[in-house]
Each structure stands twice: as C-alpha cells, then as structure tokens.
Amino acid sequence: MGLHIFMNKIFIFLLGIAAAFGALILQTIFTIIFPALENSALSEKIGTFMLLAIFIEELIKLGLLWKISKSAKNIFWYSITLGSGFAVAEIFLNILNNSPLDSELFLSYFGLFLIHVFTSSIYGLYFTKREPSSILGILAIFCLGYFFHFLFNFFVFISINSLILNGGLSILIFSAFFLGKNSKK
C-alpha cells in the first residue's frame, strides 16, 4: 500500500472521529435549545433524544461518505474506515463515563463499533454500486441505516443478550464485506 493511500485512510479515520464529536456537539446544542427532548419518550424504552441522536449520527456519516464518494476510489473501504473512526470516538466517550473493565460494557462497546461500521458500510456499498446517486436513493439508504441503528439501540435498551446482538451484526458486516469485496469505485 502506498504512502498516499495510507495517509488517505488515516485522514478518513480522523474524519470519522471528528464526525462523532460533531454529532455530539449538535446533540448537545439540540438539548440546550430544546431541554424537553432529553426527558421526552415515545414509549418507555424509546426516547425522542435517542431518535434525534441516531438521525444526526447517520446523517453526518452519510453526508461525509457522499462527499468522499465524489472524488475517491474504493469508497466502500473508506466507509469502513470512517465508521471505525466514528465508533472509536463514541467508545472513548463512553469509557470516560463508565468503567472500561466491565465485561458487559466491553461487549456493548464492541456492539457500538459494529453498528457504526455496519451502517457506514451500507452507505459505502450504495455509493459503490450506484452512479449517479439520486435523492430518492440516498433517502432510502439513509432510512435503512437509520433503521438498523435504531434497531440496535432498541435491542440494547430492552436488554437483548450482547453476544446475540453482536453476532447478528457480525454476520451483517461479513455480508457487506462479501458484497463490497469486488467494488469498482
């Protein structure tokens, strides 16, 4: 791998980290402007803030990957790298608030990593296979990423076993890798 490609991947990883912090800043701004968001709930397990947080996170990742796809080759692998950076930042922030040695939390951190890599890989596959991207197609792929992220969070909140949840995500990521291994863009 050439130095230029390696540096691009490092840049995309750091962009993923910056995107996570950007999402956190936007989420914080929304809770300052609309304090009721943090305490409101659509049901006992699903908070309005959670829905907004997922929306912001997925919109930022999709927007960045759309922009990167305009000029980069191997967008699928860049999507994995961006999702990894995003996940690492989110895990780091979670570790600051919790014990890093708790084995149950370790599995949830692994799940956080998997969900961000998976939703980013969905976007990367879309941008690899579709050209040019239509607004309707981008909206559909955003809804798919949002749905999977929501489903993951919902399963975490209703206490689905982390091994089952992470195993399912691992299978989905493996499938995305299989689909993306022959990507042309």
What is d(CA 43, CA 56) in angstroms, rounded to the nearest whole number?
A: 20
What is d(CA 24, CA 173) in angstroms, rounded to the nearest whole number?
A: 25
Q: Which of 16, 19, 1, 21 is nearest to 117 (CA)?
A: 16
Give me the pLDDT at residue 96, please: 86
The values of phi and psi at residue 40, to 5°, are: -85, 150
Domain extents for the chain?
Answer: 3-180
Q: What is the CB-side half-sphere exposure of residue 20 using CA atoms within 13 A?
A: 23
| Cβ partners under 8 Å of residue 88, min gap 6 | 13, 16, 17, 20, 113
CA distances from 156 to 13, 148, 153 (A): 26, 12, 5
The whole-number mean pLDDT for each consecutive block of 10 residues of the chain, a chain of 185 residues, reads 81 96 92 73 66 94 93 87 96 82 73 91 87 82 92 76 66 65 53
Q: Which of 178, 155, 173, 182 is nearest to 87 (CA)?
A: 173
Give me the pLDDT at residue 48, please: 80
Dump pLDDT digits (tens) for 130-181: 666 688 989 999 999 999 899 888 877 776 666 666 677 677 666 766 665 5
